[in-house]
Amino acid sequence: MRIGNRLLELDRLADAVEAFGEAHGLAAKLRFQIRLVLDELLTNIINYGYADEAEHAIDVFMGQEGRRLRFVIEDDARPFDPLTAGPPNLEAAVDERRIGGLGIHLVRTIMDRVAYERVGGTNRLILEKDID
């Protein structure tokens, strides 16, 4: 599906993820996890990825191959590889932690494989989750 770079579009994406999950017989917990991961990533793209206020398209592909779910996010935002972010210090007090890093930690924890590539002027984030 294609969404615009506006936070209001995340509701439409959540509905699409829910419909995808139901159509593929995914458990409610897994549907929630997928919505959470995609919401986190797309919120960051929308809030921090663009240097202008223009309308931009973000494509989200959802698919299933056997027991593997695959999600791909493609955008024309600034080049950014979220996998370069170091792990957050979860032992530090909340007010002593550096800002950022929790979202990608969440993504890495929930998904089984995450990869990033820059293709031309496009960021491509590939997320895979094995179904138990």
Do the beta carbons of residue 31 and residue 62 sit within 8 Å? no
pLDDT digit string, tens, across residues 71-125: 999 999 999 998 887 665 556 555 554 555 567 888 999 999 999 999 999 999 9
* SS3 state at 21: helix
For the domain bounded by 2-130, which CATH number is listed?
A: 3.30.565.10
For the entire predicted model, the pTM comes to 0.88
Quick one: tokens of 60? 């989200």
pLDDT digit string, tens, across residues 62-72: 999 999 999 99
- Angstrom distance (rounded) from CA 70 to CA 85: 22
Domain residue spans of the chain: 2-130
DSSP 24: T
